[in-house]
Every structure is written in C-alpha cells, then in structure tokens.
Amino acid sequence: MDGNRLIRLTRPIAIVLWLVVAATVLMHRSESARVQLWAASWAIGFAARMVASMKRAPPSVALASLGLEGVAIAAMTALLLGRFEGLLLVPVALELWFRLGPRLASLWVFAQTALFGAGVALHWNARSAWMLALPYGALQALVPQQARPFTARKGGRARKNARHDLGDVAG
C-alpha cells in the first residue's frame, strides 16, 4: 500500500469520524444552549473536510480547507467539548504529512494541537487542556511517523519504475 492508497483510505475514515463526533454530541449534549453554535462549527469543519477530500481540489484549496478544518475543531472544542473532537485532528495530521512533508506538517500539527488545547482550557480548565492536548498531540505525531514506510516505498517504487522504463527504451 503506497501513500496514495493510504490517503484514499484515510479520507473516508475521517468523514466517518466527523459523523461519529456529531452523533455523540447530539446524543449527550443536545440540551446545551451552545449546541447551535457547535453545529455551525461542525458544519464548517465537515464542509472543509469534504473539500479537502476531493481528489481534484487544487493543493492550495486543499491546504486552506485543512486549516479551516483545524480551526473548526478548535471552535467545536471551545464551544461544547463532546468527547472525541481531538480524534478529528489525526486524519488532518496524516494528510498534512503527505501534502507538506514532515517538517511543515509537524509545525502545523503543533499549531492545531495548541488551538485544541486552548479550546479545552476555555471550556474546562488549563489542567484538562494539558491532559487532553498532550495525548492527542502525541497521537497526531505518531500516526504520520507510522506512515513513513509508505512514503519511502512510494519513492522506491517510483525509482524502480523509472529504471524499468529506461530499460524498455534502451532494449
């Protein structure tokens, strides 16, 4: 499975995660006065996920959508901390890894984790923010690290195919 296949697998999983987060919040928190604002943030984030998941979206549009998705997740967390909003950041981190490379993706992941932590601190307190942001940040860092062999294989396969094509031309 190369990086493209991994991304194709990640996108539907991300959409399912968005739907699961919505279901858990609506089941457990629908009586809150902030649920309408939360739903608006959810809709913006879900729309951004759908745009980022489109195969033909230009890279700049996809990156802007991923940024908007991260901000929407932070807003959802600040408005009405459901339970699983931090999990929504993991597919974003994985997609950033493939789109930007490890250095820029790591900076982006740090920024979106800080926004998530700020949302938790706003909703609950600073101690809770540390308790939730650190594991979700670690998860966002570990998932792309585990995807590294896929990107290495993809590059190796491309070099092997290029050598094979040159052999066909020469022979």
Read out DSSP for 47-73? Answer: HHHHHHH-TT--HHHHHHHHHHHHHHH
Q: What is the pLDDT along the chain (171 residues), one digit of tens a residue?
A: 445 677 778 889 999 999 999 998 888 877 888 889 999 999 999 999 999 988 888 999 999 999 999 999 999 999 887 778 888 998 998 888 888 888 898 899 999 999 999 999 988 889 988 988 888 888 888 877 777 776 665 555 544 544 444 444 444
Amino acid at position 27, single letter:
M
64 with 78: CB under 8 angstroms? no
Q: What is the pLDDT of residue 50?
A: 95
The full set of domain ranges for the chain reads: 3-170
Q: CA distances (Å), 44 to each of 16, 121, 169, in order?
A: 16, 22, 51
Q: What is the pLDDT of residue 155?
A: 53
Residue 9's CB is within 10 A of a number of other CB atoms, namely: 12
Q: What is the pLDDT of residue 67?
A: 95
Q: What is the pLDDT of residue 37?
A: 93
